[in-house]
Amino acid sequence: MEQSPARITCGTLAGLLVFALVLAMIAWPLALWISGSGRWVVVRLAVAVLCAAILLRLLTIVRAEAGIDEVSEADLALQSRTLAPQPDPLLFRLAGDARTGLTWKVVPMALQDRLQKMIARRFEPPPTDLTPLPSRRLTWRQAEAIVSKLEERT
């Protein structure tokens, strides 16, 4: 049997009891330090804080049971599903591994294939200015230009 997190359990009551004891340990020396009618103000403040904690817990339980904070499936279906473009992690890892620092060197074929797949995935008809020729290998400068154009268009 699975327990609901919103139920009032013995743990909740024990937690409130511990909280009341901590408040009493704080309020007791203050009440003894303050003389006259100020003692009752300290006691009343401690009781008010305890009552506020109990009320907050009860309101949390009522909100959970009433489903006030829940989003219905209909509301989820009506919301737009625009996702931020995610960078291809393999593309960046391959670029970091294979990069020699010289921009005239050619891009490895695995990285070029991954770049072509990323272009095809982001644009339904791939634009001609971003599509590298399959017979030619890209240089690092060309690959960086394609990636910067991809970032501009997203």
How far is residue 112's CA from residue 131's CA, in Å, rounded to a whole number? Answer: 11
Q: What pLDDT is stored for residue 28 in this prediction?
A: 87
pTM over 0.85: no
Q: What pLDDT is stored for residue 25 in this prediction?
A: 92
Checking if the pLDDT of 104 tops 60, the result is: no
Q: What pLDDT is stored for residue 12 in this prediction?
A: 82
Structure token pair of residue 121: 């995935």
How far is residue 32's CA from residue 147's CA, in Å, rounded to a whole number? Answer: 71
Q: How confident is the model at residue 153 (pLDDT cuts 50, 70, 90)?
A: low
Whole-number Cα distances in Å, 59 to 14, 54, 56, 64 = 18, 9, 5, 9
Q: What pLDDT is stored for residue 76 in this prediction?
A: 76
Structure token pair of residue 108: 């490895």
Structure token pair of residue 120: 């095809």
Q: What is the pLDDT of residues 31-63, one digit of tens each?
A: 888 878 888 888 899 999 999 999 998 888 888
Q: The dihedral of CA 85, 90, 96, 102: what is its sign?
A: negative
Read off the pLDDT of each residue in 17-31 and give the average, rounded to a whole number: 90
Describe the crossing of helices 140-153 and 109-122 by its angle, rounded to 10 degrees: 20
- What residue type is assigned to position 124 of the chain? E
Q: What is the pLDDT of residues 105-148, one digit of tens each?
A: 667 777 777 777 777 777 777 666 666 666 677 777 777 777 77
| Three-class SS of 75-120 | HHHHCCCCCCCCCCHHHHHHHHHHCCCCCCCECCHHHHHHHHHHHH
Q: What pLDDT is stored for residue 78 in this prediction?
A: 78
Q: What pLDDT is stored for residue 1 in this prediction?
A: 44
Q: What is the pLDDT of residues 60-97, one digit of tens each?
A: 888 888 877 787 788 777 776 766 667 666 666 666 65
Domain extents in the chain: 10-69, 89-153
| Residue located via tokens 């506020």 | 52
